Amino acid sequence: MNYQELLESARGKIAPQCRVCKECNGVVCRGEIPGTGGKGSGAAFKICLDFLSSVKIKLDTIYENKGQDTSVSLFGQTFKYPFFVAPIGGMNLNYNGAITEREYDEAVVFGANKAGTAAFTGDGANDSFFLDSLPVIKEAGGKAVPTIKPWKNEKVFEKVKLLEEAGAMAFAMDIDSAGLINLALAGKPVSAKSVEELSEITKFTKVPFIVKGVMTAEGAKKALEAGAYGIVVSSHGGRVLEHAAATCSVLPEIREAVGDKLKIFVDGGIRSGADVFKAIALGADAALIGRPYVIAAFGGGAEGVEFYTEKIGAELRDIMIMSGCKDLSDITIDKVIL
Ligand SMILES: Cc1cc2nc3c(=O)[nH]c(=O)nc-3n(C[C@H](O)[C@H](O)[C@H](O)COP(=O)(O)O)c2cc1C
């Protein structure tokens, strides 16, 4: 399989919700929710890609070559690359149902694990989005991160018990789904959560908790106060607020505010190993990639996901060679030009 064949194979299956564009930037699918686009004009999706392409990497190949180590330690485990599959739910709702929720979860969880990384899985208006991932996560020995919507805490606790039984290594909550049109349309009660409500969740379980959808230094400090393990700097791929900032642009101030006390993930328009490098240079511990993994899963199942992971990983290694970075600790903000 090569990448073009993977895209071609997906193109036949994923239409019309995703057109498998040359650059997955939210222009053609703008406003398509349910679907795969960003809210309204799609500006909050596009701005992420525009910001990332404006960041340049400094070339430096005068150094003692000791090889490149792309690995990252998180959740007490080591992963081969510092990027993961972002949670995407709703194969029927947002795509055409050509693969089921369970088949999607199998593709991303097993495919990412095979490549030495891991997948986050989604949640949604239909409980099956969350429930279908659990047997897959269990089969994978817990090497995945289920994500729960900001339901009322009693419902969150029920879901946390289930993910504990499945042995999940961590779990997330996309707190920004408080603004998701899909859920409002389905009449499902999600809402913003106070620091106290988030603290109740971290006290309820020992499983590391990640708050997804933080976009400010203040928000990061609140997640820290609530006892979170980490945050995902995310605007839900531009799906919740048309006027959100580029996610990677707010990384430096967030890192400065919380130091090393929180693990910082970021998503939104990460499309290459160079983008992963830029995200880490700006302050992230790891990146998440969403929509391109759906294309990989539709195009080639678990094998497609594994292939795509190795492609992005090889690009990252190449950039590290060209910028004099032997491991992730060398990828600092002075390696990029803003
Ligand atoms: C169709 C679709 C469904 C999504 N479902 C979820 C979800 O269930 N939970 C969640 O936290 N994020 C969800 N997201 C957001 C993604 O996890 C991610 O934040 C976003 O797609 C940005 O990354 P990308 O630009 O690489 O796609 C969804 C995004 C899309 C496009």
Which residue is closest in CA terms to ligand 1's atom 3?
88
Per-residue pLDDT at 261 exceeds 90: yes
Alpha-carbon gap, residue 237 to 191, rounded angstroms: 19
Q: Spell out the residues 6+ positions from residue 233 whose beta carbon is closer than 8 angstroms to its own.
A: 214, 215, 247, 248, 250, 251, 254, 264, 265, 266, 267, 284
Q: Which tokens in the block code for residue 150?
A: 């900001």
Q: List the domain boundaries for the chain.
A: 3-59+78-326
Q: Please tell me if the CB atom of residue 88 comes closer than 6 angstroms to any atom of ligand 1.
A: yes
Of 194 and 187, the one with more pLDDT: 194
pLDDT at res. 126? 87
Q: Whose CA is nearest to atom 20 of ligand 1?
A: 237
Residue 26: CB within 6 Å of ligand 1? no
Residue 58 has pLDDT above 80, yes or no: yes
pLDDT value, residue 55: 98
Q: pLDDT for 84-109, tens place per residue?
A: 999 999 999 899 999 999 999 999 99
* Residue 157 and residue 180 in contact, taking contact as beta carbons nearer than 8 Å: no
CATH number for region 3-59+78-326: 3.20.20.70
What is the average pLDDT across 205-231? 98
Q: How far apart are CA 270 and CA 274, in angstroms?
A: 9
pLDDT at 182: 74
pLDDT confidence tier of residue 81, bands split at 50, 70 and 90:
very high
The pLDDT value recorded for residue 180 is 78
pLDDT of residue 179: 77
Q: Taking the alpha carbons of 83, 220, 145, 326 in that order, is the dihedral positive or negative? A: positive
pLDDT for the residue numbered 12: 87
- Tell me: pLDDT of 338 over 80: yes
- Taking CA atoms only, the protein residue closest to ligand 1 atom 9 is 122
Gap from CA of 60 to ligand 1 centroid (Å): 35
Least confident of 54-63, 179-188, 262-271, 322-331: 179-188
Compute the C-alpha angle 201/103/163, nearest 5°: 20
In the residue annotation, 236 being an active-site residue is answered as yes
Residues 6+ away with beta carbon under 8 Å from 330 = 320, 324
Q: What is the pLDDT of residues 167-180, one digit of tens each?
A: 999 999 999 998 77
Q: Are strands 72-74 and 77-79 parallel, antiparallel or unpaired?
A: antiparallel
Ligand 1 center from residue 237 Cα (angstroms): 6
